[in-house]
Amino acid sequence: MDMEKIKQWMEMAQKYQSGNFWDTIFDQHSGQTQQNTGSTQQNPGTSEQNNHGYTRESHTSSTPTEFPLVDIFVTDTEVIVIIELPGLRKEDVQLSLSGNKLLVKGRSKIPVVSGSSILNERKYGEFERLIELPEPTESKDVQARFDCGLLFVTYIRKYTEHENISIL
């Protein structure tokens, strides 16, 4: 394909970028429920001009990602949950537990007070995510440590192996 045809295709694609045409074409996650209840989504490709003449773009995906991102590991003796909270401090986050449901919520603040936004991809504001743990535990058995924007939540496994049950 020559460069002229690619340019023509790109110009045509630009016309449809602001509508929901591309959302319906590339939306692979339709019908899935979101656990991230505290975020707001903008249409992809939206742009506005600020008072300095720069164009501010929002590149928010049409398929929202959950925030915060989470990894869960299970060893022979413990469960380890790592929650990614970039730019936050431990004072900005609250944890609560009910059985095997860990709720993490908090508020992410914009680090720059003055100035005009040129590009905005990070999420700000209140967030909340309910994380299903692989095994239930009690809050007294959970340890949480915040280090370099990562929240490590660990607890000792109570049931490390299956026990046989006799059938009568």
Q: What is the pLDDT of residue 39?
A: 39
Cβ count near 127 (within 10 Å)? 22
Sign, CA torsion 141/143/144/150:
negative
Question: What is the rounded distance in angstroms from the CA atom of residue 122 to the CA atom of residue 86?
Answer: 10
The dihedral over CA atoms of 66, 69, 74, 75, expressed in degrees to the nearest 10, equals: 170
Would you kindly state where each structural domain of the chain is located, as residue ranges?
35-41+66-111+123-156
List, in order, residues 6 or more apart from 82 with CB less than 8 Å away. Answer: 70, 71, 72, 73, 150, 151, 152, 153
Q: Are strands 70-74 and 78-84 parallel, antiparallel or unpaired?
A: antiparallel
Second CATH level (architecture) for the domain 35-41+66-111+123-156: Sandwich (2.60)
Q: What is the pLDDT of residue 64?
A: 55
Digit-by-digit pLDDT tens for the chain (168 residues) are 577 777 776 766 665 555 555 454 455 444 443 344 443 334 444 455 544 444 444 444 444 578 999 999 999 999 999 999 998 999 999 999 998 999 999 999 888 778 888 888 888 899 999 999 999 999 999 999 999 999 999 999 987 667 788 898
